[in-house]
């Protein structure tokens, strides 16, 4: 029998904790702390495919690009996505390999640089919504808008961040490779940062575009294509909330597709943060998936056992 597959999506902000500078040492330490849930899934008999965000990391890389302008050639956003997909994949791959050895688990961990096709006519190209990079106070955000022409938006009452276009993912180019490696028993890291965004040209060639793809939406597409059992999205909070950080805040432990769609329409889940996670859960279940879970990076075991987190199920 084939093992049930769980796709575990690690949030980019979960890899850089609030208040940290985001140094390489800090990120390695955070990755190591995130592995308990992955190990638990492996010991429960799941095949594990890992995806991850890169919002803070790609934003920091773009700041480096700006700082070195006129000294070295510019790196376009799509290449920055590819660079951070490889770098974060390496951190997870090395950290997990070391942990598996200590646990006595003989498994290979492999990172697949993943291209993701988007529609070149997607309306998102003219409507930047996806936050990347660090948080700024209002004065800093306004200065970057004036000096660099960045689009800036408030992010869930936590501060201001740069926002860029984020078209919907359509297809994972390397989906067959991910599926083959997973079925062979390897632990695969794929679709990092939502994958490297590409469009199909008229002649069928792929061409990179300077946007970012939401990693949860891309994770749902990947989970669909490899026929995963569960999509688990790990972030900085333990539950999905109604009225997040407001006086009538309420944690949700279970949502049906209909309830999730209604709350999404009512605006409870912002497009730059929780909204894509809820939409990814809806998409995955609609496409035939069995279960979606949203919780914090340290609550995987409890969430799988039904003791915490937000479980999204079919009606």
What domains appear along the chain, each with residue ranges and CATH number?
Answer: 5-118+168-313 (3.40.1160.10)
Determine which one of 130, 192, 194, 309 is catalytic. Answer: 130
Q: Is the pLDDT of residue 12 over 70?
A: no
98 — pLDDT class (breaks 50, 70, 90):
very high
130 is catalytic: yes
Q: Which of 13, 30, 60, 283 is catalytic?
A: 13
At what angle are helices 24-33 and 77-103 packed, to 10 degrees? 50
Order the strands of the 115-118 sheet from edge to edge: 169-172, 115-118, 196-200, 206-208
Helix (H, G, I), strand (E, B) or coil at 229: coil
- Active-site residue flag, 215: yes
Tell me, yes or no, if 258 is annotated catalytic. Answer: no
Mean pLDDT of the chain: 91
Going by DSSP bridges, is the β-strand pair 109-111/187-189 parallel, antiparallel, or unpaired?
parallel
With cut-offs at 50, 70 and 90, classify the pLDDT of residue 55.
confident
pTM of the full structure: 0.90
What's the CA gap between 102 and 148, in Å, rounded? 47
pLDDT surpasses 80 at 133: no
User: What residues contact 67, with CB distance under 8 A and at least 6 apart?
Assistant: none
Give the mean pLDDT of 112-140.
89
CB 228, CB 218: distance < 8 Å: no
Model pLDDT, residue 159: 85
User: Which residue's entry shows tokens 């902000």?
Assistant: 13
Q: Which of 53, 179, 272, 277 is catalytic?
A: 277
**C-beta of residue 48 within 8 angstroms of C-beta of residue 38:** yes
CA pair distance 15, 280, nearest whole angstrom: 20
**Confidence tier at 112 by pLDDT (50, 70, 90):** very high
pLDDT of residue 67: 83
**pLDDT for residue 137:** 87
Strands 169-172 and 115-118: antiparallel
Asked if 178 and 190 count as a contact pair (C-beta separation under 8 A), the reply is yes
Q: Would you call 171 a catalytic residue per the annotation? A: no
245 or 27: which leads in pLDDT: 27
Given 133, 194, 215, 309, which residue is catalytic?
A: 215
Query: Token digits for 101?
Result: 């050895």
> How does pLDDT run across 150-176, given as a tens digit for each residue?
889 887 667 888 888 899 999 999 999
Decide if 243 is catalytic. Answer: no
Task: Characterize 71-95 residue by residue with b for buried, 16 or more Cβ atoms within 10 angstroms of its Cβ, and e for exposed.
Answer: eeeebebbebbbbbbbbbbebbbeb
Name the catalytic one among 12, 37, 193, 289: 12
pLDDT value of residue 131: 79
Mean pLDDT of 241-261: 90
């Amino acid at each position: 029998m084939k093992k049930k597959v769980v796709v575990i999506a690690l949030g980019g902000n979960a890899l850089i904790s609030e208040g940290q500078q985001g140094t390489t040492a800090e990120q390695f330490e955070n990755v190591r702390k995130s592995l308990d849930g992955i190990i638990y899934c492996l010991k429960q008999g799941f095949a594990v495919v890992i995806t991850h965000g890169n919002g803070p990391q790609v934003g920091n890389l773009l700041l480096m690009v700006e700082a070195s302008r006129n000294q070295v050639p510019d790196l376009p956003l799509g290449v920055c996505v590819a660079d951070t997909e490889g770098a974060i994949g390496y951190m997870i791959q090395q950290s997990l390999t070391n942990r598996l050895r200590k646990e006595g688990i003989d498994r290979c961990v492999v990172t697949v640089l993943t291209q993701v096709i988007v529609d070149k006519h997607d309306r998102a190209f003219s409507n930047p919504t996806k936050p990347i990079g660090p948080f700024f106070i209002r004065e800093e955000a306004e200065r970057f808008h004036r000096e660099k022409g960045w689009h800036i938006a408030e992010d869930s009452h936590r501060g201001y961040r740069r926002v860029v276009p984020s078209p919907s993912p359509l297809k994972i180019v390397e989906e067959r490779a991910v599926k083959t490696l997973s079925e062979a028993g390897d632990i695969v890291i794929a679709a990092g940062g939502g994958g490297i965004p590409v469009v199909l040209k008229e002649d069928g060639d792929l061409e990179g575009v300077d946007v970012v793809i939401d990693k949860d939406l891309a994770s749902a597409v990947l989970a669909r294509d490899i026929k995963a059992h569960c999509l688990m999205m790990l972030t900085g909070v333990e539950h999905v909330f109604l009225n997040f950080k407001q006086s009538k805040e309420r944690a949700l432990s279970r949502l049906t597709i209909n309830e999730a769609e209604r709350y999404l329409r009512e605006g409870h889940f912002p497009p730059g943060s929780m909204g894509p996670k809820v939409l990814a859960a809806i998409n995955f279940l609609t496409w035939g998936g069995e279960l979606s879970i949203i919780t914090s990076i340290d609550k995987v075991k409890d969430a799988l056992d039904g003791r915490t987190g937000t479980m999204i199920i079919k009606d």
